[in-house]
Structure 1
């Protein structure tokens, strides 16, 4: 989260963790950005092939599904890290400060559990499907669920980072905590 000031010369574990998490989020943004550009280009090729060449490239749909999964799950993880995910804050906003903090902790614990569930079940699904191939592009079928697995792991890691910062009194989510 780039809006969080890190004291200069601070080499604590928490500061180093924040740098690593920010780097992971930046990498995810880069990957999703590239995936979005590739998705746009291949759909342009689909339209060109269909209407100009009169030969529809059939592999585009399968490749697009992989790209959309990557964009969705890595983008969701970045949303957790940057606290830009959908959130209903009406009760949190009107609650006393101690209760707001409790709501944030409960929300973070639920998100961590959700990330763990995605990671666990996504890993099982990826391993189960890895032996078969995706038609038309001949890549392992497990690639379809790999973004689910990676996104779940990142949601878990980013949420645990929020909890660690909250417990250390360095949580930047002042708008939700108070």
Structure 2
């Protein structure tokens, strides 16, 4: 019964991480669509109406933060993030496993540091407003904080697989 319970927990943990990843993809995708629409409005306003909407620049900067940072955390979960993997891939299996462990631990540590420090940035900047939008400047750092949290969680998911003996890179190498 405990084996069945552990399998259920494992599946729940993996499903949670998959749903978080899907949520990041949806938010990034919707942000990209909104970004495209508001730039269309910018061009229409500037050249047809002869009245440039000034808020577009600030909204686009905010949307790009969501697209970039949430998209980066998706790369961590799906193992598609940028990295120099040549040495890991050409190494013998024991060395490759060591590189994988170091990579996941480093990413988890980086995500944790990123989350904590960007939370401090959110709190520090919350009292100032984004020009033309009149919303707190700290909102710009929320995607960084989320990326750190998701990077940490997704790296923990990879570490769980690593210690369970699941080879996530075997399809890439062999």
TM > 0.5: yes
Cα distance in structure 2, aligned partners of 1:48 and 1:35: 20
Aligned to 1:46: 42
The Cα shift of 1:176 comes to 5.6
Report how far residue 171 of structure 1 moved: 4.1
Q: Distance in 2 between matches of 1:107 and 1:177?
A: 16
Q: Do residues 154 (structure 1) and 171 (structure 2) align?
A: no
Contact 1:104 1:176 in 2 (8 A): no
> 1:124 pairs with 94, 109, 120, which one?
120
- The number of residue pairs the alignment matches comes to 170
The equivalent position to 1:105 in structure 2, one of 96, 101, 105, is 101
**Judging changes above 3 Å, is the alpha-carbon distance between structure 1 residues 22 and 80 closer, same or farther for their aligned structure 2 residues?**
same
Deviation at 1:173, TM superposition (A): 2.8
Q: Relative to total residues, which structure has the larger helix share, 1 or 2?
A: 2
Question: Displacement of 1:172 after TM fit?
Answer: 2.8
Match of 1:22 in 2: 18
Following TM superposition, by how much is the alpha carbon of 1:112 offset from its aligned partner in structure 2, in angstroms?
Answer: 0.9
State the Cα RMSD in Å.
1.6
Partner of 2:163: 167
What stretches of structure 2 of length at least 5 have no aligned partner? Answer: none
